[in-house]
Amino acid sequence: MLALRLARRGHALVQLRRLLVAAASAGVGFLLLCTLTYALSHPGDSAAATQRLLWCLFPLLAAVYFAVAVARTDPSTRPRSALSAVGLGPAGLAVVAAATTALATTLGSTVALLIFLHLRGDLSGLPFDGAASELLAADESLPLGAALLLLALVPVASSAATAIALRHRAVVEDVREPASAPAGLPWGVALIAGGLAVETYASGRPSGQPLALLGHTAGHPAGVVAGWALTAVGLWLVGPALTHLCGRLVQALRPGSTRLLAGRILMAEARRIGRPLGVVCAVASGALAMSTLHGDAARPWGPMSALGTAVVVACTTATLVTAALQARQSRAATTEALLRLGAHAAVLRQAAALRAGALLALFGPLTLTVAVLAAAPLKG
């Protein structure tokens, strides 16, 4: 009940973020239900059905990642002395955040079920002249228990991840010195190299087990997907260190006030925006690699592949935007102090543009390089 009251009294921007979480949950839920109907319409092809279910892990992880990011920026989950006095410390607020996340994701799963049933014709006849009847196996009986179990994956996973992420958050957020090097660079580089090596090895094996894309019959060896996953984790790990390095480079060689301000902010916010940047870099490199492979095909993406890709791209981009807004809010007091001391607003805008340009100049070539290296073995 407390979580519901806090959710209703949220700011308009907070409510918009929760609605986006619900939309992401709806997209993943619809993908899972489509996977279920494929299994129903192809009872003798259990391997392909399992592979399609495994492909749904990528949109599922992206939606959970976005839900946790939204929960971390929710003002109702920030520790306050008044809440601590009534017994809502960090542990209690983690429970409230998990309940709020469960409400948003359950709403999305419910919407996905209603849309799915409507397209199948289970509610009021087949819409769109039955265009989706074959894709959704409208002539097969839908097992309600299995459908509800699949729809519960996003709410359960998102709530658990939110509770774990916020359980150990301190009463006062940890403020680190900008000069410290975020850890993870060696492990991240090793995982990127290992992922590319696994992909190269797997793509050269003629006996590789094919792993079909959602809604498309073309396949790739399962080792290639494992290699992409390792590469994505590596980019997630190196993101903070590369952002920190970018801040150092910006303020190198006798910096002026604008470069000094931009560099120090990048170094201070490396941990907050670095990992979402790494995830976006991984998704963009994967999308570029796939577009390179299937660019000449007439219909390279099936409908479920397009939906899954859209969910992953939207969730990772929204996570990065959420982290950027959180970073801006965290330095609002510093910005006001600079303005009171006489700093021009144009200097702050120039520093923001310089930060964006520096990050694009570093992560853009990195994304293209990883995409080329990932696509090269598959092109033979």
pLDDT at 171 over 90: no
Give the Å distances, CA to CA, from 346 to 82, 341, 356: 39, 14, 15
Query: What kind and span of H or E run contains 219?
Result: strand 219-221
Q: Crossing angle for the helix pair 12-41 and 90-120, nearest 10 degrees?
A: 50
Instruction: Give the separation between CA 145 and CA 66, rounded to whole angstroms.
Output: 27
* 177 token code pair: 């010195």
pLDDT at 332 over 60: yes
Return the closest-CA partner of residue 302 out of 218, 220, 228. Answer: 218
Segment 127-147 shows an average pLDDT of 73
CA-based angle 178:181:184, to the nearest 5?
135
Tens of pLDDT, residues 173-221: 444 444 467 778 899 999 999 998 888 887 765 545 555 555 444 455 6
pTM score over 0.75? yes
Tens of pLDDT, residues 209-247: 555 555 444 455 677 778 888 999 999 999 999 999 999
In the chain, what percentage of residues exceed pLDDT 90? Answer: 37
Q: What is the pLDDT of residue 220?
A: 59
C-alpha atoms less than 13 angstroms from C-alpha of 373 in its C-beta half-sphere:
19
Of the listed ranges 46-55, 112-121, 256-265, 354-363, the least confidently predicted one is: 46-55
Tens of pLDDT, residues 276-325: 999 999 999 988 888 777 665 555 567 788 888 899 999 999 999 999 88
* 15 token code pair: 């409510």
Segment 107-127 shows an average pLDDT of 83
Q: In 3-state terms, what secondary structure has residue 68?
A: helix
In the chain, what percentage of residues exceed pLDDT 70? Answer: 79
pLDDT at 139 over 70: yes
Segment 142-148 shows an average pLDDT of 88
CA-based angle 78:82:84, to the nearest 5?
70
Neighbours of 198 (CB within 10 A): 19
pLDDT at 342 over 70: yes
User: At which residue do the structure tokens 């999305």 appear?
Assistant: 108
Instruction: Give the separation between CA 152 and CA 106, rounded to whole angstroms.
Output: 8
pLDDT at 170 over 60: no
Return the closest-CA partner of residue 265 out of 184, 335, 191. Answer: 335
Q: CB-based contacts of 53: which residues, under 8 Å, 6+ apart?
A: 32, 35
Q: How far is CA 183 from the centre of its chain?
A: 21
End-to-end distance of the chain based on CA atoms, in angstroms? 58
Q: What is the pLDDT of residue 126?
A: 64
121: region left, alpha or beta (phi > 0 left; psi from -120 to 50 alpha): left
Tell me if 102 sits within 8 A of 22, measured CB to CB.
no
Burial of 182 (0-12, 13-18, 19+ CB in 10 A): buried
